[in-house]
Chain A
């Protein structure tokens, strides 16, 4: 969470320094990814097998885009943005290069997920992303203290005053919109309609502010708040809920009635990446079912690898099934690509919510 506006500048300087090093056969793969997606054991196995070196940089969606934008798509050889954040960023900043699908072993992917991701990351007829890890965000609830929380709007129950937390970011806007009966995804293409939805959500979030203890910004932060009992219900990622469930059975992930929000993190090639061989090798390596299962164990989320289920931890599978009965899985709202410029509109809303008393 140690971010600073200087990061972009630092990335620039880092990229300039990195320009010196490159080799043909054994490459260094500079991987821009999320925590848990490149565990040490997997990196070691990959390096041993292929001879490539891996340098991991942890980040999140916004920072990935900002970093790549700062360098014009340089400094990294493989990035893992969410599938809905590729098309818009590509259209506006041109920070990725198209994937050569012939170099990816499609047979290792769950077909439906591969197709959906390809469709969502296509710009001008070229595909920019293939799926890797997927998961949802919904509610993490301390059932002993807030048994009534079933949907996002329940977070605004006056009984939970000062005991609620969520992020002040776009997923919260989307989630509240669904909970209020709107379909924000359908309105993506229509700025006026989307604006109207955002206005409603803004009003609700301002009303709900009294309930909020703090807007969390890092995964560890929200886990600590829930663990210590300072927060009873939060909007958070499914893995966090399952992790806490293992420590305290009262706390678990709840798929909200209006639907959990489904995200898929992808593989995408930065425009000025210089280790494509290593990048494709990494993609094909980590999609092997037994490797994918290791990543699931480390990140807590399932992958788009076909057959990895067989290797997954039964306890994790049990938690998943408890949170997601079949109808809840069908109800997952998968993020469609975010049109360029939508973030500015959302940003203004988030600013006003933050400033509201």
Chain B
């Protein structure tokens, strides 16, 4: 029909998306940016400046917490990939019919409970008076109660458990699309299993690996409950700092600045990761 009518349709079709982007993403972020640039001078008095950002740079505690959070998130991502890959391989290439559905469901099952319940579940398992400790004592492998909670390993377990599905789903999708005859051809030409994995399977699955890793990394970095509840007395997590600034310190300005730093630094890490693995964000997102 006429061009103006076509454009109107387009605008109407785009309206929900634009509204969503504006109301829930652009405006809150703009407001946060504005807040983060305010410095508290005295009671109820504020001035514009970068002070809140400088605090982050000046205080090693904040820096260290960020580095620790990022490093543990990278580790959690790597572990999730390491555990998730064989699982995804099994689902995509080996399991058939019912077994395949059951496996998928098993990955999904943790998400029927809320994150809080899941985390408490791990606390029940890992705590000194918990299930694992009791089993170890019963089996004679431990003399007395064993505390497995309140340390970084417990955080890692919780993060990997929470992230597994988000790694497995994109991996299954890409591995599903890998033609079995490519693997057979490589095998036939004399390649070992390891070579096939390195030269055929991983290059093919790269977009899935990249999108899974991005999601898991961002989820781990932004996780709050798991590190706070499972982590030990010295365990700092960057989101915890943001929470403390907003809620217990009433320092929204600092909290907002931390929020923006988290956004910026995590984006930088994802970008660097993509560059290192020779991927672009577009190819990683094309086949989620």
Q: Interface on A for B, CB 8 Å cutoff?
A: 1-5, 7-9, 62-63, 65-66, 69, 89, 91-94, 162, 169, 209, 212-215, 217, 228-230, 340-341, 343-344, 347, 350-352, 354-357
Chain B 216-243 interface residues, beta-carbon cutoff 8 Å to A:
224-225, 228, 232-234, 236, 239, 241-243
Q: Which residues of A contact B250 (CB under 8 A)?
A: 62, 65-66, 69, 89, 92-93, 343
* B35 CB to nearest chain A CB (Å): 11
> Does B181 sit at the interface, judged by CB under 8 A?
no
Report which residue of B65, B150, B246 has the largest number of chain A beta carbons within 10 angstroms of its beta carbon: B246
- Asked if A4 meets B243 with Cβ closer than 8 Å, knowing A344-B251, A354-B234, the reply is yes
Report which residue of B61, B64, B233, B242 has the largest number of chain A beta carbons within 10 angstroms of its beta carbon: B233
* B220 CB to nearest chain A CB (Å): 15
Can you sample 5 A-B contacts with CB below 8 Å? A4-B243, A8-B246, A89-B250, A92-B43, A347-B249
A-B contact count (CB 8 A): 90
Complex Cα spacing A213 to B43, Å: 38
Q: Which of chain A's residues has its CB closest to B246's CB?
A: A5
Q: Which of B127, B233, B251 contacts A354 (CB 8 A)?
A: B233
Instruction: Flag if A344 contacts B249 (CB, 8 Å).
Output: yes
> Does B277 sit at the interface, judged by CB under 8 A?
no
Instruction: Flag if A355 contacts B65 (CB, 8 Å).
Output: yes
Instruction: Flag if A91 contacts B44 (CB, 8 Å).
Output: yes
Q: Which residues of A contact B233 (CB under 8 A)?
A: 209, 212-215, 354
> Does B2 sit at the interface, judged by CB under 8 A?
no
Complex Cα spacing A62 to B246, Å: 9
Q: Which residues of B contact A4 (CB under 8 A)?
A: 224-225, 243
Complex Cα spacing A80 to B232, Å: 32
Instruction: Flag if B116 contacts A2 (CB, 8 Å).
Output: yes
Q: Which of chain B's residues has its CB closest to A94's CB?
A: B44
Q: Which residues of B contact A91 (CB under 8 A)?
A: 43-44
Instruction: Flag if A354 contacts B236 (CB, 8 Å).
Output: yes
- Asked if A228 meets B129 with Cβ closer than 8 Å, knowing A4-B243, A63-B247, A355-B64, the reply is yes
* B108 CB to nearest chain A CB (Å): 22
Q: Which of chain B's residues has its CB closest to A351's CB?
A: B61
How many chain B residues have a CB neighbour from A under 8 Å?
Answer: 35
Contact with A along B268-279 (1 / 0, CB 8 A): 000000000000
Q: Which of A7, A8, A169, A230 contacts B248 (CB 8 A)?
A: A169
Instruction: Flag if B243 contacts A5 (CB, 8 Å).
Output: yes
Q: Which of A7, A62, A355 contacts B61 (CB 8 A)?
A: A355
Q: Which of A92, A344, A347, A357 contacts B44 (CB 8 A)?
A: A92
Q: Which residues of B contact A355 (CB under 8 A)?
A: 61, 64-65, 234, 236
- Asked if A3 meets B61 with Cβ closer than 8 Å, knowing A62-B248, A230-B128, the reply is no
Q: Which of chain A's residues has its CB closest to B225's CB?
A: A2
Complex Cα spacing A178 to B233, Å: 23
Instruction: Flag if B239 contacts A5 (CB, 8 Å).
Output: yes
Instruction: Flag if A214 contacts B128 (CB, 8 Å).
Output: no
> Does B255 sit at the interface, judged by CB under 8 A?
yes
* B30 CB to nearest chain A CB (Å): 14
Complex Cα spacing A4 to B236, Å: 15
Complex Cα spacing A224 to B127, Å: 11
Q: Which residues of B contact A228 (CB under 8 A)?
A: 127-129
Complex Cα spacing A213 to B145, Å: 14
* B131 CB to nearest chain A CB (Å): 13
Chain B 143-166 interface residues, beta-carbon cutoff 8 Å to A:
147, 149-150
Complex Cα spacing A4 to B225, Å: 8
Q: Which residues of A contact B248 (CB under 8 A)?
A: 62, 169, 343, 347
Q: Which of chain A's residues has its CB closest to B234's CB?
A: A357
Instruction: Flag if A217 contacts B246 (CB, 8 Å).
Output: no
Q: Which residues of A contact B44 (CB under 8 A)?
A: 91-94
Complex Cα spacing A169 to B244, Å: 10
Report which residue of B61, B65, B129, B247 has the largest number of chain A beta carbons within 10 angstroms of its beta carbon: B247
Instruction: Flag if B242 contacts A347 (CB, 8 Å).
Output: no
Complex Cα spacing A4 to B255, Å: 13
Complex Cα spacing A69 to B251, Å: 11
Q: Which of chain B's residues has its CB closest to A61's CB?
A: B248
Complex Cα spacing A345 to B248, Å: 12
Instruction: Flag if A9 contacts B249 (CB, 8 Å).
Output: no
